[in-house]
Structure 1
Amino acid sequence: MSSLPNSVHARDVEYLLHPVTNARRHEEVGPIVIERGEGIHVYDDEGREYIEGMAGLWSVGVGFGEKRLAEAAYKQMLKLPYYHSFSHKSNEPAIDLAEKLVQMSPERLKRAHFTNSGSEANDTVLKMVWYFNNARGKREKKTFISRQNAYHGITMVAGSLTGLPVNHRDFDLPIIPVKHLTCPHYWRNGQEGESEEAFAQRLADELEQTILDAGPETIAAFIGEPLMGAGGVLPPPAGYWQKVQAICRKYDVLLVADEVINGFGRLGTMFACEHYGIDPDIMVLSKQITSSYQPLAAILFSDEIYQGIADNSAKIGTFAHGYTASAHPVACAVALENLRIIEDEGLVENAARSGAVLHRELKCFEEHPLVGEVRGVALIAAIELVADKATKARFDPVGKAGAYLFAKGHEHGVILRAMGDQIGFCPPMIITEDETVELVRRFEMTLADTYTWLKNEGVIAA
């Protein structure tokens, strides 16, 4: 960090409060100021190059510096830089995008509604579900079911749905009726001698019993990421989603698929619902919908839900919800061009190809003394670091190894994500097979340094 009082680093520390950051620690170390990006790389203001192994925040699917997206935004700004979608107003990019999303998504989903972020979208989902259930005379149906380790956003409602304790602590969350069930992570939560199928059945039984104990008339929806992201990149056990879906249908519980991270090719299929055979009532999309070049999220939902909401809006006189920038024309224009790039460049297929290389290369670390598990699907993966391989014991405190590895990665030119001691990989979907090998090579050097440091610190046996 520069000591000059007028440096950009000093001004950052003086004026900004950063999200998901230890503010006091930030005062000591200052920021890495990212100045530009190109392809899978970003560059800081001192000229250092990094492979962006997390695509920003799981989101820059088409890579950095994509001129087609800049041009789409520029053209739309010249034509119509902003307009709202309240009171019967609309714009062509929003209409085109809604049609495109409905056509490419699971068959049950017939309508679209736009917000600015995944957090806003999941807040809106809760309001829509409550509004819908009230409209059909089921006013007790208010409780949502989520999972431990789930991530559904950071606002008051979405943060309540999230199942990570750090996101609740001292924010006085949850503030809504929500039940968090066992995280579907077989390696960590499976019982001794329990098969993967038996684990999935145990979780299904837990879901059904939770519904019965509360009363089906009180349970509104089950919300889940098809593959859990920020909780550690956790693929579900085989058969899990089919069991969950059957129970939801049995008890008139809406099924919400949160594809904010999964969607638009990350798992080697356009949507994770396709990969896992999920037929949701509601699907939430964001991040890669614009490759985060513009803030945008979409909620896709069934005609049954639309009809209930529409009838209630006629009764009340309005659907009294929305944001100033809902269906923003520039964001929608960028999203449309982003989807064209994903299709034109075959990025869904590339995610499957480069993802296979990523998992092949990461699998080589399975015998490393720090590595407990290597997991993921296609172009999203994680390595879980453990203090003791035989017992799967976590580090004390949790995150000690992950934080060091994350910081050390910058020295080797790679940006990853430490979720405690779980190290996430989620590079732009444009990454080539050779670039994927280089990404893992930089990680390998980082892991070696981390192992040496832990031994020197006496955290693990020398």
Structure 2
Amino acid sequence: MTASGMNSQEARDIAYHLHSYTNAARHLEIGPMVIERGEGAYVFDNAGKRYFEAMAGLWSVGLGFNEQRLVDAATRQMQALPFYHSFSHKSHGPVIDLAEKLISIAPVPMSKVYFTNSGSEANDTVVKLLWYRSNALGQPQRKKIISRLRGYHGVTIASASLTGLPNNHRSFDLPISNVLHTMAPHFGSEGNEGESEEDFATRCAEELEALIQREGPDTIAAFIGEPVMGAGGVIVPPRTYWEKIQAVLKRHDILLVADEVICALGRTGKMFACETFGIEPDVLVMSKQITSSYFPLSAFMINERVFEPIAEESDRIGVLGHGFTASGHPVGAAVALENIAIIEERDLVRNAAETGAYMQDRLNALADHPLVAETRGIGLIGALELEPGEIPGQRGALMNRIMQDKGVISRNMTDAMAFCPPLIVSRAQIDEMMGVVTESLDILQQQMPA
């Protein structure tokens, strides 16, 4: 490598940077694609090539990559109060305003908001507070959390344990104890021959009931689930699923945690996916689109049923012994407030519903392609599942590379190609994206062995 090559961004990244969700050894060979700037739904690499960001970054940049109002909100807050904390009865204006705003738009009555910095931290904290609450109620045995296979809830020790994907557990000595997993609600892969969606949903609920009975209902603190599974393959639950799951939980007085880290603030065509699916959670977790990822921020809302025992226990002990330096950061809170204001002013939730329906139509039109096993989605989140090859994920990885070469960034989850464009996306941009998808499928088919 030349001296100039050794000093390139790519070479320095290889030399100094350990990446998330990357084959670290392979990265030493191929290096990174360096993204330099963004414009609306597009990003540009350091060679000037433009890409349509079909994943909104990481399911998260709702307003696109150069929303000046968010930059201005951060700048104003940096100038006024660049940091303050929320420990020991301290607060500040932006976090108070944001907490009030979130409670006011919650899909069900909520009592308090707790702020963290990522979805992983939020779910990790939820687990701690559920354990704390059980102790407060004099139910120390009620500590188990039920999650689902293929669910995704984060990568901290507790949240990665909730996650139901093998590579988040392998070689990490996870999951921890008191985390249980029930079946994924994917009718396409789990449904039996001749079984209707409603019958499949009944079977999912029956499996949950059986798990609860085996473990003992009085040992289960909560059930956690994404309204629509994201990283597990964009799995939309079958009809009546959430109705039947909630009936099981209510029968045993088990709390429901809705992980809306991906879905909250418009993704499914409603402000919250809980509205889309008739979910009535006790805890609702959000992140990603809360600031369009312009600033690290996450939050969860708890209802009075969850809050009251926690408050009483903190009074008995003298303190709620948990917190992060940057919880409710004033800059993040200011950005979130402006972000939500823009979503409301520009009616982006309706855009997600209407343009999302168009995206689903375009995806479904590819269902008969020889390489397509299934299309699925709702609103502005969808997936195109490829027929598997000899090696799981091989076709998905190749499809991903073909699309990226043609200027569309997607993400393959094994052989499922995910699509989650910014909330600001237009029909013309959906056409652009789907044109590349269609062309890439044809190229992939040509490259398959006869």
Which interval holds the TM-score relative to the shorter structure? Answer: over 0.9
User: Per-residue displacement from partner, 1:17-62 (whole Å, max 9, x unpaired)?
Assistant: 1000011211111111000001000000000000000000000001
Return the alpha-carbon distance in structure 2 between the equivalents of residues 27 and 447 of structure 1. 29
Return the alpha-carbon distance in structure 1 between the equivalents of residues 389 and 334 of structure 2. 46
Return the alpha-carbon distance in structure 1 between the equivalents of residues 346 and 324 of structure 2. 33
Contact 1:357 1:437 in 2 (8 A): no
User: Per-residue displacement from partner, 1:125-176 (whole Å, max 9, x unpaired)?
Assistant: 0001110111011110011101110000011000000000011000010013
Comparing 113-122 and 170-179, the one that deviates more: 170-179
In the TM superposition, residue 395 of structure 1 has moved relative to its aligned partner by: 2.5
Return the alpha-carbon distance in structure 1 between the equivalents of residues 135 and 214 of structure 2. 22
**Corresponding residue number in structure 2 for 1:320:** 321
Q: Is 1:64 matched up with 2:61?
A: no
Which of 384, 388, 396 is the matching residue for 1:402? Answer: 396
Contact 1:157 1:176 in 2 (8 A): no
**Corresponding residue number in structure 1 for 2:429:** 435
> Which structure 2 residue ranges, 5 or more long, are not aligned?
none
**Corresponding residue number in structure 2 for 1:353:** 354
Return the alpha-carbon distance in structure 2 between the equivalents of residues 245 and 297 of structure 1. 25
**Corresponding residue number in structure 2 for 1:421:** 415
Contact 1:108 1:280 in 2 (8 A): no
Comparing 419-428 and 401-410, the one that deviates more: 401-410
**Corresponding residue number in structure 1 for 2:209:** 208
Which of 433, 436, 440 is the matching residue for 1:446? Answer: 440
Return the alpha-carbon distance in structure 2 between the equivalents of residues 101 and 398 of structure 1. 41
User: Per-residue displacement from partner, 1:340-375 (whole Å, max 9, x unpaired)?
Assistant: 010011100001111111111111211111101000
SS in 2 for 1:109: coil
Comparing 218-227 and 434-443, the one that deviates more: 434-443
Structure 2 letter corresponding to 1:130: W
SS in 1 for 2:5: coil
- The equivalences for 1:450-461 within 5 A come to 450-453=444-447, 455=448, 458=449
Return the alpha-carbon distance in structure 2 between the equivalents of residues 450 and 176 of structure 1. 43
Comparing 335-344 and 404-413, the one that deviates more: 404-413
SS in 2 for 1:4: helix
Contact 1:68 1:337 in 2 (8 A): yes
Return the alpha-carbon distance in structure 1 between the equivalents of residues 360 and 286 of structure 2. 25
In the TM superposition, residue 274 of structure 1 has moved relative to its aligned partner by: 0.1
Contact 1:353 1:433 in 2 (8 A): no
> Which structure 1 residue ranges, 5 or more long, are not aligned?
387-393
Structure 1 letter corresponding to 2:146: I
Comparing 146-155 and 353-362, the one that deviates more: 353-362
Superposition TM-score, scaled by structure 2 size: 0.98
**Corresponding residue number in structure 2 for 1:120:** 121
**Corresponding residue number in structure 2 for 1:28:** 29
Identity value in percent: 54
SS in 1 for 2:6: coil
CA-atom RMSD in angstroms: 1.1
In the TM superposition, residue 85 of structure 1 has moved relative to its aligned partner by: 0.4
**Corresponding residue number in structure 1 for 2:188:** 187
SS in 2 for 1:300: strand
**Corresponding residue number in structure 2 for 1:43:** 44
User: Per-residue displacement from partner, 1:284-343 (whole Å, max 9, x unpaired)?
Assistant: 000000000000000101112111111000000100001000010000000000000100
In the TM superposition, residue 213 of structure 1 has moved relative to its aligned partner by: 1.2
- The equivalences for 1:272-311 within 5 A come to 272-311=273-312
Contact 2:108 2:281 in 1 (8 A): no
Runs of 4+, deviation exceeding 4 Å = none
**Corresponding residue number in structure 2 for 1:260:** 261
User: Per-residue displacement from partner, 1:95-152 (whole Å, max 9, x unpaired)?
Assistant: 0000000010122322100000000000000001110111011110011101110000
Return the alpha-carbon distance in structure 2 between the equivalents of residues 115 and 396 of structure 1. 42
**Corresponding residue number in structure 2 for 1:372:** 373
Contact 2:400 2:411 in 1 (8 A): yes
